[in-house]
Amino acid sequence: MRILGIETSCDETSAAVVEETGDAATPWAVRSNVVASQVAIHREWGGVVPELASRQHIRDICGVVERALADAGTAWSDLGAVAVTQGPGLVGSLLVGVSFAKAAAAAAGLPLVAVHHLAGHIESLVLQNGELPLPSVVLVVSGGHTNLYLVERPGSYQLLSRTRDDAAGEAYDKVAKLLGLGYPGGPVIDRLAKDGNDRAIALPTTRLTHADRNAPELKGDLDFSFSGLKTAVLRHVLARTGEQPRGANMTRDSDVAQGSNVAQGSNVAQDSNVAEGSNRAQRSLVAQGFSPALPEQEIADIAASFQRVVVTALVERLFDAARRYGAASVGVAGGVSANSRLRADLKTRGEARELPTFLPSLALSTDNAAMIAAAGLRKLRAGHTASFDLNADAALPL
């Protein structure tokens, strides 16, 4: 069977055709995967502007779907189902994909499958590598999420831990912004860090030991926190450049709204998710894309030092969880899994621990519809279809 996948949760309009192979070990093959990125539109604003994103999805969706079908040599009558990201994400963006998918499925007489965006990221590992040795511990690390999951059976995802504040990708985006490097921050910091000394600047590592009051069901000691690190980079830059926003209380920025790790698109431009009471001076400083007058080498050193702390925290917590849960494999998916240092460190650590480690290809790391199609096939084969009153859900739980 061939399935059409549609993904519009943030600032990428994507459609893909994925086909079942008939081989249980490597169940799916990508026939096409078209991504129309809106990065150029949002870069100007320093982050994703939800209203602009949804309007652009409307302009792009028809052409992107037609192109995905053409690239796959597939007609509507060749399809067995339509899968779409229901959430989490920006609600206006999600609505475009959900409405399109419902209309298309109804018109073509096809079943509709609702997919959780993070299930898509997790299944990108299977789409790329075949079924993972189970149980597997999978880290989903993106602009909106930093979550560890235990996968005991195919299609079952048990949340083990998450970030208490900023997602890792969000920290990349914020640090890039305060270094004047533009949006999105991950790829540019990744590139600059290659020329930097990763020990040049002492930055704090946060190790949580207690349960989160907001999630008492989780033990908490596998949780992540990146807000203090981002603030430390800001303090360092301000100290080096002599810029002092009046009355700055940088630690308050750790109060970035709870929703930031629930709804995707936490890197929204207007800092709308900064909690009340967070420092106005810093907010405007960062929102304006504060551009410090630092030498290029020093910016590279900051990028490398920041990246070392983020990647070390991600890799250590992943392997801690793998040991605790007796994992037969580990995986990392989501936009930040495109990071070159994360990929390299993961490989080294996996070999040292003799634990198979899995990553998606670069094209399947950042948001794309092929992963949504794959997760859709998984759900369809488990007997789950959606009705035509399906609605987008910005904070959909997994």
Regarding 331 and contact with ligand KG4 (CB under 6 A), the answer is no
225: which residues sit within 8 A by CB, 6+ positions away? 163, 164, 165, 166, 206, 208, 254
Kindly tell me which of 174 and 378 has the beta carbon lying closer to ligand KG4: 174
Q: Does position 338 bind ligand KG4 by CB under 6 A?
A: yes
Q: Which does 184 bind (CB under 5 to 8 A by kind): Zn ion, ligand KG4, none?
A: ligand KG4
Closest CA to 97 of 207, 9, 172: 9
**Neighbouring C-beta atoms of residue 67, cutoff 10 Å:** 15
Among 339, 371, 377, 378, binds ligand KG4 (CB under 6 A): 339
- Residue 141 Cβ vs Zn ion, minimum distance, rounded to whole Å: 10
Task: Between 298 and 367, name the residue whose CB sits nearer to Zn ion.
Answer: 367
Say how many C-beta atoms besides its own lie within 10 A of residue 271's C-beta: 18
Q: Does 322 bind ligand KG4 (CB under 6 A)?
A: no
As measured in angstroms, the least distance from the Cβ of 76 to ligand KG4 is 28
For ligand KG4, which is the closer residue by CB, 143 or 228? Answer: 143
Q: Does 394 bind ligand KG4 (CB under 6 A)?
A: no
CB of 111 vs ligand KG4, minimal distance in Å: 26
Figure out which of the listed residues 27, 87, 292, 334 binds ligand KG4, where binding follows CB under 6 A: 334
Q: Which residues bind Zn ion (CB under 5 A)?
A: 142, 367
Contacts of 159 (CB under 8 A, 6+ apart): 147, 148, 149, 218, 398
Question: Quick one: 27 or 265, whose CB is closer to ligand KG4?
Answer: 265
Of the pair 19, 367, the CB lying nearest Zn ion is at: 367
User: Which residue type does 97 have?
Assistant: G
If the CB atoms of residues 285 and 371 are measured against Zn ion, the closer one turns out to be 371
Query: Side chain identity at 220, as an amino acid letter?
Result: G
Residue 271 touches which member of ligand KG4, Zn ion, none, C-beta under 5-8 Å by kind = none
What SS3 state is found at 394? coil
Angle of helix 280-287 relative to helix 168-178, nearest 10 degrees, comes to 80
Phi-psi map region of 73: left, alpha, beta (phi>0 left; psi -120 to 50 alpha): left
User: Nearest to residue 233, comparing CAs of 173, 144, 165, 164?
Assistant: 173
**Interface with ligand KG4 includes 50 (CB under 6 A)?**
no
Q: Which is nearer to ligand KG4, 19 or 301 (CB)?
A: 301
The secondary structure element, H or E, covering residue 7 is strand 2-7
Rounded alpha-carbon distances, angstroms, from residue 35 to 17, 133, 162: 12, 30, 28
Q: Contact letters (x/-) for ligand KG4, 83-122, by CB under 6 A?
A: ----------------------------------------
**Should residue 136 be labelled a site residue for ligand KG4 when binding is judged by CB under 6 A?**
no
Whether the bond between 111 and the residue before it is cis, its omega within 30 degrees of 0, is no
Mask: binding to ligand KG4, 173-192, rule CB under 6 A, as x and -? x----------xxxx--x--
Distance CA 27, CA 272 (A): 41
According to CB under 6 A, which one of 169, 245, 292, 376 is a site residue for ligand KG4? Answer: 169
Q: Rule CB under 6 A: which residues touch ligand KG4?
A: 10, 142-144, 169, 172-173, 184-187, 190, 264, 267, 334-336, 338-339, 366-367
